[in-house]
Amino acid sequence: MLQPSPAAELVEAFTNTVDLESGDDDVATTDALARWLTGRRLAEPSLRLTADDHRGFLDLRAGIREALDTDDPVAPHRLAVADAALSQVPLLVRLSDPRAPLVPAPGGPPARTALARLAAAWAEVVFTGEVHRLKRCAEHTCGWVFWDSSKNHSRRWCSMRVCGNRTKSRRYAARQRDLTV
């Protein structure tokens, strides 16, 4: 079974900092986001974020979630807002280390450096093709991001037992209603 790279795991973890069903958000505040970034070694423990920094991370998260493979139509405005946040990110392309060809430019503000590390992880996932294995759950009330380990990239739900069953039950009930009308 193909395992996700550290970059794919980071992108998955970042997008799943919000639970769309319950509304719980692990990075709802600047302090919570700073702790999350520090816990993932994307920033130093002394990191202090502004409200604008926080908004940039949330915009990037929404954009990545939107860019992931799903049956839902894409919301271009979310991608544009994320692209705007990324336009402020200083990234450097290196030839000296093929394991990390895209890195934050040195000397940048700590918040931008952390955002650049997330952007580099996203770029790696896209460049390696792993983006096709990272998917957003097709159950519209869920939206959880998961790694599709199926051979033919056909998995649609984060959990067949929960989300897949919900979707299929709803479809079955709709077909039954249509038959009785």
Exposure string over 105-114, b if 16+ CB within 10 A, otherwise e:
eeebebbbbb
**For residue range 131-181, what is the model confidence (pLDDT) as tens digits?**
999 999 888 778 889 999 888 887 877 765 657 566 556 665 556 666 676
Collect contacts of 166-169 with beta carbons under 8 A, ≥24 apart.
Answer: 166/139, 166/141, 167/138, 167/139
For the entire predicted model, the pTM comes to 0.85
| pLDDT per residue as tens digits for the range 66-118 | 998 666 677 888 899 999 999 989 899 989 988 888 989 999 899 999 999 99
Q: What pLDDT is attached to residue 139?
A: 80
Q: How confident is the model at residue 1 (pLDDT cuts 50, 70, 90)?
A: low
DSSP alpha helix (H) spans, the chain:
6-15, 30-39, 51-67, 76-86, 110-128, 165-180
Per-residue pLDDT of 14-68, as tens digits, reads 999 999 889 999 999 999 999 999 999 999 999 999 999 999 999 999 999 999 8
The predicted structure's pLDDT at residue 131? 93
Phi-psi region of 154 (alpha: psi -120 to 50; beta: other; left: phi over 0): alpha
